[in-house]
Structure 1
Amino acid sequence: MPLPLDQPQSGAELYEGLNSVLQRHGHQAHGLIEVLNHAQQLYGHLSEPLLRHIARQLQLPFSRVQGTASFYHLFRFKAPARHSCLVCTGTACHVLGAAQLLADLRNAAMEELGVELGSVRCIGTCSGAPLVVVDGEVWNHLSSAAVLKRLRELEP
């Protein structure tokens, strides 16, 4: 669970959770990827101020820190959505309306609901088509309206 960043603090206080990993690597550049990984685990994503702090602490150019972080697809630069929703687009789901379901969900205010929308080729439980996976839970045989209703009922 990412740490809250809502209290006004100085950069050193705000990012003190990184001290242990920075010290373990002696504030040296060879620890950059581990520091980035630890930072994302602590804070949920790699913001520009966080990357600048890491650059200062490791005495690296900001461009190198940002370039390294952007090279690896597992690092993210925006806070993750509160919920995830994957629509299955496999054959059975496609035949039973997955494309329309996905289009309807894309047209909905997913960001306002705090939901990150994506698709997956096949979930493997075709008898429940069309399928969506919300926060790891499989929902089946639902219309677009029913999925949206249930998404709106999720805890913020």
Structure 2
Amino acid sequence: MERLTARLMIEALAPSSHGDWAYGWGPVSARTARHMHWHLFEPDPRDRPDDYVARRNGWIDGPGQNVGVSAFGGERRVTELSFELSRPDHRGAVFDALRAEGAGLELLRESEDFVEYRLSIAERHPANLMAIEHCTSPRSAAAQRCWTIYTLRFDG
């Protein structure tokens, strides 16, 4: 799943030849549709405040696991994609898969449960990639559950 998630992150990055429309709902949908179960469509601008944030949800199928994917944005463009992997310790594997695809990761910030990189690859617009690890309390009545959320934030 880590390799497929990394591949989708790279495909979501707009080609550098694309202009202001590169992160419109339609172009992002076209770049990601072959791996995703979702339909990205523009939000209806009627009766919406200027700061309205639309959310569209989908998933990537994988052997024994799905990855939840959400797109966020305004009336005209997608501003970020988030990827939720339901097991802990994915960070290294996803970042290794991105590097194996030829992507560069420049460290911007890091803490115990958070890391942010500048993701770049030839002939694509760069973006910021954040990863946050979450866990339920170890004292929870149910077993402890951990997951990682990656957020790919597009420039502009």
Shorter-chain TM-score bucket reads under 0.3
Bigger fraction of residues in helix:
1
Structure showing greater radius of gyration is 1
Bigger fraction of residues in strand:
2
